[in-house]
Structure 1
Amino acid sequence: MTLLEQRRAPRTEAGRRRSPLGSRWTPYLFLGPAAIFILLFQGVPLAQEVYLSFTRTSLLNPTNSTWVGLENYVDIFGDEDFRRTLRTTFVYVVACVAGSVGAGLLVALLLNRSFRGRGVVRALVTIPWAAPGIAVALIATWMLNPQYGIVNRFLDAVGLGVPGGAILDSSTYALPAILVTTVWQLFPLTSVVLLSALQAVPRDLLEAATMDGAGRWWTFRAVTWQVIKPTVGLLALLMTIWSIRRFELIWLMTKGGPVGSTETLVIDLYAQAFDSKQLGTAAAIGMVGVVISLIVIAGSRLVTRAAEKEGLR
């Protein structure tokens, strides 16, 4: 062994020694606390909900439950009111996702331009999202008040007034009013996120498209949309899940009425658990919501993978 090899040998041997932080168990040590937290505070309650959904359990005596199997699920899917609740939930979710993402994209495109006072406008746009949901619901209720609400006065002025001004008491207009309020609260988040995505669009691609004679629409379709499309998909997924579990705004504005016209899954769950005192039925409704959320997530993943494979071709 030469002198150079003798000098290198201890270094090579030392280089083979692994520090405690470089072991293969290090990632699990960092993930361990989060995994334990999720297991205790989400996994255990979910398992209890699954069990409750197969039992007949009263809120007044929760320790005394009777195993009924799939009877709760048969009952709720055989109920016309529950099927109406599913339809209302579907309409609410689709409208909220389309409205919040669409309005957010439009506002983001406007805020991405250069104009005087742009920083102030960007700050003002975030106010609805920063406001608590309870405050938003109360403000919307006051604005829709049939006696002194500004919305009714405006509608009367333009000849579109609702008879009696009772928008939230109308089975026809209550859901659209809640949808507008929800979109108004959600669009600032989507606009801020999409604005960040728009600022990540390479300027050289935009300039190249302009030099090739492409108009604004084709530039947006061929360049901008291709960059922000993953962000739009993620926002649509988040808004879908948040819309499925939206409770406080609907409950404070209409409590699911009138005549169940604004009753979604979470409102029906609350009514079954605390009004009808049927925890088993409420748990079954909750599991339906969980399954719908999982289907949405799985569908989103499949669409994303298909788009990625299409992009690699």
Structure 2
Amino acid sequence: MTALEQTRAPGAKRRRTRSASGSAWTPYLFLALPALYIVLFQGIPLVQEVYLSFTRTSLLNPTSSQWVGLENFADIFSQDGFHRTLRITFVYVIACVVGSVGVGLIVALLLNRDFRGRGVARALVTVPWAAPGIAVALIATWMLNPQYGIVNRALNAIGLGVPGGSILDSPVYALPAILVTTTWQLFPLASVVLLSALQAVPKDLIEAATMDGAGRWRIFQTVTWQVIKPTVGLLSLLMTIWSLRRFELIWLMTRGGPVGSTETLVIDLYSEAFDAKNLGNAAAIGMVGIVISLIVIVGSRLVVRGADKERIR
């Protein structure tokens, strides 16, 4: 090695060290902006909501708060209407998850077959999911209109018409109508996700099961379901959280009525905050929703972990 090379070698080593040091920080730099966004727009509002839930705060004077501890939680749980709201919320969430994932799985199985126009069919299935929630609510309201709605005309034609023709004004039929509308909007996402999972099912396992004489249901049970089950679990968890937060569709179609028959937690929160002007109670209702979401997430993780342990054994 010449003297010039010897003098350059330490500098080159330092440059390589600085380059390696810089690359080590690169992932953190990419994560900095999303982390800042979460802190500013998710973390700080969450802390403020927690604080509000322990205070008596009016929407008309939000800067003046009085610490009341758990009084807001005691107040909302002492109301019979809140218990009904919780029941309606659970019914709505369970029906939406089962309906959207169930219909999505059936559609995904159909779209996974070879037939002419399959690409067009796959594209058309995504239309309800791509439509804005406001547009879906308005279209559903027009279709359910008692005077010129196509749904009432079809039901009357087969002798199943609703008395008075007003489905959304009926305490019995309003919630099922919203459930059908929500399922219609959500199932395309489930079908697209599950269709991707079905593409990952090994063809050789299906062929081996077919050669062993297994029928379609047996093949689905032993091969297909085992592959797509993790995707179904994750999808069900996401649908549960989204259904707990669903607001615009219910509000635009019924505003939680009639007589509270479609009032979920988010509708009750909105009414408490902007109709009753009680931010403290509204924040307490929001905290109940957060706790329910956390319970669902933790419960799903425990179920998945238990299933993994059983599979390893």
TM category, shorter: over 0.9
Q: Which residue of 2 aligns with 1:49?
A: 49
The C-alpha deviation readout for 1:258-303, integer Å capped at 9, x for no partner, is: 0000000000000000000000000000000011001111111111
Aligned length: 303
The C-alpha deviation readout for 1:88-129, integer Å capped at 9, x for no partner, is: 000000000000000000000000001111111111111100
**How far does residue 26 in structure 1 lie from its aligned partner after superposition?**
4.1
Q: Which residue of 2 aligns with 1:27?
A: 27
The C-alpha deviation readout for 1:148-197, integer Å capped at 9, x for no partner, is: 11000111111111001010000000000000000000000000010010
Superposition pairs of residues 67-82 of structure 1, within 5 angstroms: 67-82=67-82
Could you tell me which amino acid in structure 2 is paired with residue 225 of structure 1? Answer: W
Superposition pairs of residues 90-169 of structure 1, within 5 angstroms: 90-169=90-169
TM-score by length of 2: 0.94
Could you tell me which amino acid in structure 2 is paired with residue 63 of structure 1? Answer: T
Q: Which residue of 2 aligns with 1:202?
A: 202
Mark the runs of 5 or more structure 1 residues left unpaired by the alignment: 1-9
Could you tell me which amino acid in structure 2 is paired with residue 21 of structure 1? Answer: G
Give percent identity, aligned residues only: 78
TM-score by length of 1: 0.94
Mark the runs of 5 or more structure 2 residues left unpaired by the alignment: 1-8
**How far does residue 30 in structure 1 lie from its aligned partner after superposition?**
2.6
Calculate the aligned-residue CA RMSD, in Å.
1.7
Q: Which residue of 2 aligns with 1:272?
A: 272
Q: Which residue of 2 aligns with 1:193?
A: 193
The C-alpha deviation readout for 1:4-44, integer Å capped at 9, x for no partner, is: xxxxxx89x95994612343x44333322221211111000
Q: Which residue of 1 aligns with 2:3?
A: none
Q: Which residue of 1 aligns with 2:302?
A: 302
The C-alpha deviation readout for 1:47-102, integer Å capped at 9, x for no partner, is: 00000000000000001111100000001011000000000000000000000000
Could you tell me which amino acid in structure 1 is paired with residue 22 of structure 2? Answer: L
In 2: Cα distance, 1:298 partner to 1:43 partner: 20
Secondary structure of 2:147's aligned partner: coil
Secondary structure of 1:63's aligned partner: strand
Q: Which residue of 2 aligns with 1:183?
A: 183
Q: Which residue of 2 aligns with 1:5?
A: none
In 1: Cα distance, 2:83 partner to 2:281 partner: 14
In 2: Cα distance, 1:46 partner to 1:134 partner: 26
Runs of 4+, deviation exceeding 3 Å = 13-18
Secondary structure of 1:165's aligned partner: coil
Could you tell me which amino acid in structure 1 is paired with residue 199 of structure 2? Answer: Q
